[in-house]
Amino acid sequence: MSETEAPNFTLGRQNPSYVRLPQTVEELLAQRKPMVGRTLNDYVEDIHVKLWPNPTYQKLLDAVYDEDAVEGSLTADNLEAAGMIREFAAGEGQVPQVAGRKKATIVKAMNVVLRRYHMSRGERAVTLGGEPVSNTHNSGGGERA
Protein backbone atom coordinates (compact mmCIF):
# COMPACT_ATOMS: atom_id res chain seq x y z
CA MET A 1 0.00 0.00 0.00
CA SER A 2 1.44 3.39 -0.95
CA GLU A 3 1.26 6.51 1.18
CA THR A 4 -1.59 7.87 -0.91
CA GLU A 5 -3.79 4.77 -0.70
CA ALA A 6 -6.34 4.52 2.07
CA PRO A 7 -6.32 1.34 4.16
CA ASN A 8 -9.10 -1.15 3.49
CA PHE A 9 -11.35 -1.10 6.59
CA THR A 10 -14.23 -3.10 5.17
CA LEU A 11 -16.37 -4.47 7.98
CA GLY A 12 -16.69 -8.22 8.16
CA ARG A 13 -13.56 -8.93 6.11
CA GLN A 14 -10.38 -10.38 7.50
CA ASN A 15 -7.48 -8.06 6.73
CA PRO A 16 -4.25 -10.05 7.00
CA SER A 17 -2.17 -6.87 7.35
CA TYR A 18 -2.89 -6.49 11.08
CA VAL A 19 -2.97 -8.72 14.14
CA ARG A 20 -6.49 -9.35 15.36
CA LEU A 21 -7.47 -8.51 18.90
CA PRO A 22 -7.73 -11.42 21.33
CA GLN A 23 -11.18 -12.97 21.41
CA THR A 24 -11.04 -14.49 24.90
CA VAL A 25 -9.60 -13.62 28.27
CA GLU A 26 -7.20 -16.55 27.92
CA GLU A 27 -5.90 -15.16 24.63
CA LEU A 28 -5.60 -11.72 26.18
CA LEU A 29 -3.55 -13.04 29.10
CA ALA A 30 -1.42 -15.20 26.81
CA GLN A 31 -0.19 -12.19 24.87
CA ARG A 32 0.56 -10.04 27.92
CA LYS A 33 4.19 -9.02 28.19
CA PRO A 34 5.86 -10.84 31.05
CA MET A 35 5.82 -8.79 34.20
CA VAL A 36 9.26 -7.80 35.30
CA GLY A 37 9.71 -8.56 38.97
CA ARG A 38 10.77 -6.11 41.58
CA THR A 39 14.31 -4.87 41.23
CA LEU A 40 16.98 -4.44 43.87
CA ASN A 41 16.23 -0.70 43.68
CA ASP A 42 12.61 -1.37 44.69
CA TYR A 43 13.63 -3.48 47.69
CA VAL A 44 16.18 -0.87 48.78
CA GLU A 45 13.51 1.82 48.44
CA ASP A 46 11.20 -0.09 50.79
CA ILE A 47 13.97 -0.29 53.39
CA HIS A 48 14.99 3.36 52.83
CA VAL A 49 11.45 4.46 53.68
CA LYS A 50 11.44 2.30 56.82
CA LEU A 51 14.84 3.61 57.94
CA TRP A 52 14.05 7.25 57.19
CA PRO A 53 12.81 8.09 60.72
CA ASN A 54 16.22 6.96 62.10
CA PRO A 55 18.30 10.13 62.74
CA THR A 56 21.59 8.24 62.26
CA TYR A 57 20.48 7.10 58.81
CA GLN A 58 19.37 10.62 57.87
CA LYS A 59 22.65 12.11 59.09
CA LEU A 60 24.63 9.70 56.89
CA LEU A 61 22.68 10.93 53.86
CA ASP A 62 22.65 14.62 54.76
CA ALA A 63 26.05 15.91 53.64
CA VAL A 64 26.73 17.01 50.07
CA TYR A 65 30.47 17.65 50.59
CA ASP A 66 33.12 15.41 52.14
CA GLU A 67 33.91 18.04 54.77
CA ASP A 68 30.37 17.77 56.14
CA ALA A 69 30.16 13.97 56.06
CA VAL A 70 29.83 12.05 59.32
CA GLU A 71 32.89 9.95 58.45
CA GLY A 72 34.68 12.77 56.58
CA SER A 73 33.85 11.22 53.21
CA LEU A 74 30.62 10.92 51.24
CA THR A 75 31.78 7.52 50.06
CA ALA A 76 32.27 6.34 53.63
CA ASP A 77 28.87 7.71 54.67
CA ASN A 78 27.24 5.93 51.71
CA LEU A 79 28.85 2.66 52.77
CA GLU A 80 27.67 3.16 56.37
CA ALA A 81 24.10 3.85 55.16
CA ALA A 82 24.31 0.77 52.93
CA GLY A 83 25.40 -1.22 55.98
CA MET A 84 22.31 -0.05 57.84
CA ILE A 85 20.14 -1.08 54.89
CA ARG A 86 21.80 -4.50 54.74
CA GLU A 87 21.49 -5.02 58.51
CA PHE A 88 17.80 -4.14 58.37
CA ALA A 89 17.31 -6.51 55.42
CA ALA A 90 19.05 -9.36 57.23
CA GLY A 91 17.26 -8.82 60.53
CA GLU A 92 14.01 -7.06 61.16
CA GLY A 93 13.10 -6.52 57.50
CA GLN A 94 13.69 -10.09 56.30
CA VAL A 95 14.56 -9.03 52.75
CA PRO A 96 16.89 -11.72 51.38
CA GLN A 97 17.12 -9.90 48.04
CA VAL A 98 19.16 -7.20 49.84
CA ALA A 99 20.61 -9.01 52.86
CA GLY A 100 23.21 -10.91 50.85
CA ARG A 101 24.36 -8.01 48.67
CA LYS A 102 27.67 -6.17 48.86
CA LYS A 103 27.61 -2.68 50.34
CA ALA A 104 28.89 -1.20 47.07
CA THR A 105 25.94 -2.74 45.22
CA ILE A 106 23.50 -1.42 47.82
CA VAL A 107 25.05 2.06 47.49
CA LYS A 108 24.29 2.05 43.76
CA ALA A 109 20.67 1.07 44.41
CA MET A 110 20.44 3.63 47.22
CA ASN A 111 21.61 6.35 44.82
CA VAL A 112 18.83 5.37 42.39
CA VAL A 113 16.34 5.59 45.25
CA LEU A 114 17.63 9.00 46.32
CA ARG A 115 17.19 10.27 42.74
CA ARG A 116 13.61 8.94 42.73
CA TYR A 117 12.91 11.29 45.63
CA HIS A 118 15.03 14.15 44.23
CA MET A 119 17.29 13.72 47.27
CA SER A 120 20.59 12.75 45.66
CA ARG A 121 23.67 14.51 46.96
CA GLY A 122 24.34 15.92 43.50
CA GLU A 123 20.83 17.35 43.15
CA ARG A 124 20.94 18.90 46.61
CA ALA A 125 24.44 20.33 46.07
CA VAL A 126 23.19 22.55 43.23
CA THR A 127 20.03 23.88 44.89
CA LEU A 128 19.42 27.00 46.90
CA GLY A 129 16.15 27.23 48.81
CA GLY A 130 14.92 24.15 46.97
CA GLU A 131 15.51 25.69 43.54
CA PRO A 132 18.29 24.53 41.18
CA VAL A 133 21.02 27.08 40.58
CA SER A 134 23.50 27.12 37.73
CA ASN A 135 27.12 26.34 38.41
CA THR A 136 28.93 29.36 36.96
CA HIS A 137 32.35 28.07 38.02
CA ASN A 138 32.26 25.24 35.50
CA SER A 139 30.22 26.88 32.74
CA GLY A 140 33.11 28.85 31.28
CA GLY A 141 31.18 32.09 31.57
CA GLY A 142 30.32 34.58 34.23
CA GLU A 143 32.49 36.15 36.88
CA ARG A 144 34.12 34.27 39.67
CA ALA A 145 33.82 35.52 43.19
What are the tens digits of pLDDT across the range 55-73?
999 999 999 999 999 999 9
- Indicate if the pLDDT at residue 105 is higher than 90: yes
- Indicate if the pLDDT at residue 140 is higher than 50: no
Residue type, 33: K
In a domain, 57, yes or no: yes
Overall average pLDDT of the 1-23 stretch: 57
Give me the number of domains the chain comprises.
Answer: 1
Q: Quote the CA–CA distance of 132 and 126 in Å, as a whole number.
A: 6
In a domain, 86, yes or no: yes
| Residue 131, pLDDT score | 79
Per the structure, the complete domain to which residue 87 belongs is given by 40-125
In a domain, 89, yes or no: yes
Cβ proximity of 65 and 107 under 8 Å: no
In a domain, 12, yes or no: no
In a domain, 140, yes or no: no
Overall average pLDDT of the 86-94 stretch: 95
Q: What is the mean pLDDT of the chain?
A: 83
In a domain, 87, yes or no: yes
In a domain, 54, yes or no: yes
